[in-house]
Amino acid sequence: MTYELIKNRFEKCKNVTWDDVIDKMNHDVATKDYRIENGGDGTFPSLFTFSDHYFPGTLYDALEEVDLQESITSMHVYASFTKGSSTYGRHNDDTDVIIVQAKGTMTYGFDDGKYAHLEPGDSLFIPAYTYHNPLCNHGPRISLSFGYANKRRITPLPTTGSIEGT
C-alpha cells in the first residue's frame, strides 16, 4: 500500500485554535510529554506534544472527527512558528499514521521523489515503515498526527474530499 492524500477531508480540524494548542503545550510541558526539535542549524525549533489524555476545546473536536472516520488510538500535535522550523526530518513510523493539517501548510517528501502538499483540512495516510520527510517551508503551522493500534482498516468510511492518487 502507498501513501494517500485526500484534500479538504476534515472540516473540524481546520477550526483548531492556537490558544488550544498553546494550552496543550503548557500542559504537556508540565507533565513532560513533549519534545522540542531543533536541528542545530539556527532554525526556530518546533514543539511536538505527545500526551494522549489532554485535548482542550478544538483539539478534542478534531480528535473526535478523525476518530469517527479512522478509528485512531492516538493524536500528537506538531507546532512550528516560523518558516523553515525544524522537524523530525526523514524518518519512518512503526505503525500506520494519518497526518491532518490544521493550520498553515506542510509538504512531505517521499523516497519515490514525490511530494504531498497539505493545506488545512487535508489528510495524508502514511503506511508503517514508509520513509517521509516533513518540510515546514511555508510558515507557522499546526499538524495533527494520528496513530492506529495496528493497521488502518481496509475499507475507510467514504468522505466528501477528493483523493489525489500517488
Q: What pLDDT, on the 0 to 100 scale, is given for residue 166?
A: 44
Say which CATH class 4-164 falls into: mainly beta
Number of Cβ within 10 Å of residue 159's Cβ equals 14
Q: Which of 40-44, 81-85, 109-113 has the highest mean pLDDT?
A: 109-113
Give, for 62, the enclosing helix (H) or strand (E). Answer: helix 58-70
| Mean pLDDT score, 26-52 | 70
26 contacts: CB under 8 Å, gap ≥ 6: none
Over 50: is that where the pLDDT of 158 sits? no
Looking at the DSSP bridge assignments, the partners of residue 132 are 91, 110
* 115 vs 30, higher pLDDT: 115
pLDDT tier, 31 (very low <50, low <70, confident <90, very high otherwise): confident
Q: What pLDDT, on the 0 to 100 scale, is given for residue 79?
A: 85
Could you report the per-residue pLDDT of 84-137, keeping only the tens digit for each?
777 777 889 899 999 999 999 999 999 999 999 999 999 999 999 999 999 888
CA dist 86 and 134 (Å) reads 9
CA dist 150 and 16 (Å) reads 27
pLDDT tier, 81 (very low <50, low <70, confident <90, very high otherwise): confident
> What are the grid coordinates assigned to 128, written together?
508503517
pTM of the model: 0.84
Domains of the chain, residue spans: 4-164
Is-contact 123 72, C-beta < 8 A?
Answer: no
pLDDT tier, 39 (very low <50, low <70, confident <90, very high otherwise): low
